[in-house]
Structure 1
Amino acid sequence: MDEPLIIKVQNVSKRVPLADQTLEILSAIDLEIKKGDSLAIVGRSGSGKTTLLGLLAGLDSASDGSIFILGRDLSNMSEEERAALRAEYIGFVFQSFQLLSSLSALENVMLPLELRGDQHARQEAEQFLARVGLAERAGHYPHQLSGGEQQRVAIARAFACKPSILFADEPTGNLDTVTGQTIIELLFDLNRVEQTTLVMVTHDDSLAAKCNSTLRLENGRVLT
């Protein structure tokens, strides 16, 4: 039996009005992603990669077309409903880490678990910090951690909620080559173990090659 589709995109376009014209960022995008797959979205700067990721995550709305996440049409959902969907099913890893400076590594990982009322937030957070090799750094604050360590905290935070989908925007963009390779291995290891669908924006073709499939954008359109 085929794996169910976890993301389905049908004829999606995104336009934004400018002073004297309309800028089309994405045009007629079609995409299907099955549970547990990994997809790389690649293309030059300005090709629409991050815009597409934001649409898939429900952080922005398409101008035309439909996006279904876990069978639910984002265009028929309110912002509150999309936020609830993200909290329950979606994780994020950002290039800039997005850690809260006033919280320790452990507290950063605990935060989304606590927000959803997890009674075992500390235990879950400790387990995922251990899985990313930072058990001994749990009490350290972001400014006390290297870039690679901060990104590992961000990955632990994303996976601790056991999301159905993980969106990663240039997850190794701010890291040196060695640290970046470690993060890549970690992402795919956790993806494989948890069977989390991974959707990654990257400019790195070698990283894209590790994914099950690749979507290449140019001027907002899919290259075939």
Structure 2
Amino acid sequence: MIRVQNLCKTVTSGAQELAILRGINLEIKAGESAAIIGVSGAGKSTLLGLLAGLDNATSGDIYLHGQNISLMTEDQRAALRAQHVGFVFQSFQLLPGLTALENVMLPLELSGHASPETAARVFLEKVDLADRGHHYPRQLSGGEQQRVALARAFAVEPDILFADEPTGNLDEQTGQRIIELLFALNSETRTTLVLVTHEMALAQRCGRQFVMHDGVLTEAVSNAESADTGMKQSSPAQSGELPCA
């Protein structure tokens, strides 16, 4: 479902080049759930954006749903996202001029869904906001806005859902409700889930956990594996790939 080979991302800062991602290798199978954790600035959100085709890598390959998105144009990546990908942002990213119902309907309309309003109402019901569909984002609390964002992401029934700090702007109680909704919807739709979070409780709900540190990704060993194996490092040395130039 997701396969990454020697992925690198560098940016220019003044006269210097800054390495954000260093030779990432990663494979996530269909139906798996994975969390990426790490301190701010470690490269987590950059990696998530690359996996979703929202940005371009400096080098390396990303295979999404069997297709190498690194070779695609922006329009081609957008078409692939419309068919297979959902995204939940920390800042909700709802369009302020549209109601909650219209925000959920929008990706359905763009994907050519036969009954976008009906489907949107079904998913607003799933997140307990059936009676708030006519409200605009400014009239909703942060938790309600994130629930609309979840409904919007799942309404298109994506094969893969990316979530970037989905509870980062919420209080603990509201965040916990969002977590429960996220995994309930994920279980119901059998969507592959990849999320970035600072919260260990959220990360531990996922089947796999990865740690990002200084642009390098490592996978935590599951309880079923031997304690002697420590961490499985996703580095160029693991697959024989060359390091970033």
Same fold (TM over 0.5): yes
1:137 pairs with 2:138: no
**Contiguous gaps of at least 5 residues in structure 1:** 1-5
2:135, 2:142 → 1: CA distance? 13
Q: 1:45 aligns with which of 40, 43, 64?
A: 40
Q: Quote how far apart the aligned CAs of 1:103 are.
A: 1.2
Which AA in structure 2 matches 1:117? G
Indicate the residue corresponding to 2:58 in structure 1.
Answer: 63
Report 1:170-185 matches (<5 A).
170-185=165-180
Question: Which of 121, 133, 154 is residue 159 of structure 1 equivalent to?
Answer: 154
Amino acid aligned to 2:137: P
Q: Which of structures 1 and 2 has the bigger CA Rg?
A: 2
Q: How many aligned positions are there? A: 219
Q: What's 2:206 paired with?
A: 211
Note the C-alpha offset of 1:78. 1.1
More displaced 10-residue stretch of structure 1: 182-191 or 70-79: 70-79
Structure-1 residue corresponding to 2:184 = 189
Structure 2 counterparts to residues 20-99 of structure 1, below 5 A = 20-99=15-94
Shift of 1:76: 1.4
Answer yes or no: is the 8 Å Cα contact 1:93–1:154 preserved in 2: yes
TM-score (norm 2): 0.87
Question: Considering only aligned residues, what root-mean-square deviation do their CA atoms show, in Å?
Answer: 0.9
In the alignment, the residues of structure 1 paired with residue 96 and residue 90 of structure 2 have an alpha-carbon distance, to the nearest angstrom, of 16
Identity %: 60
Does structure 2 retain, via aligned residues, the 8 Å contact 1:36–1:192?
no
Q: Does the alignment pair 1:199 with 2:194?
A: yes
1:126 to 116, 121, 129: 121
Question: What secondary structure is seen at the aligned counterpart in 2 of 1:172?
Answer: coil
CA distance in 2, matches of 1:139, 1:112: 17
Supply the distance in 2 between the matched residues of 1:197 and 1:38 (Cα, whole angstroms): 6
**Structure 2: runs of 5+ lacking an equivalent:** 219-230, 232-245
Q: How far is 1:116 from its partner?
A: 2.0
What amino acid is aligned across from residue 124 of structure 1 in structure 2?
A
**Does residue 18 of the first structure (1) align with residue 2 of the second (2)?**
no
What SS does structure 1 have at the residue aligned with 2:94? coil
Does the Cα contact within 8 Å between 1:36 and 1:191 map onto a contact in 2? no
1:222 CA displacement: 1.7
- For residues 18-44 of structure 1, the C-alpha deviation after alignment (integer angstroms, 9 at most, x for no partner) is 222211000011111111111101100
Q: Kindly report structure 1 stretches of 4+ aligned residues shifted beyond 2 Å.
A: none
Amino acid at match of 2:128: G
2: CA distance, partners of 1:115 / 1:84? 10
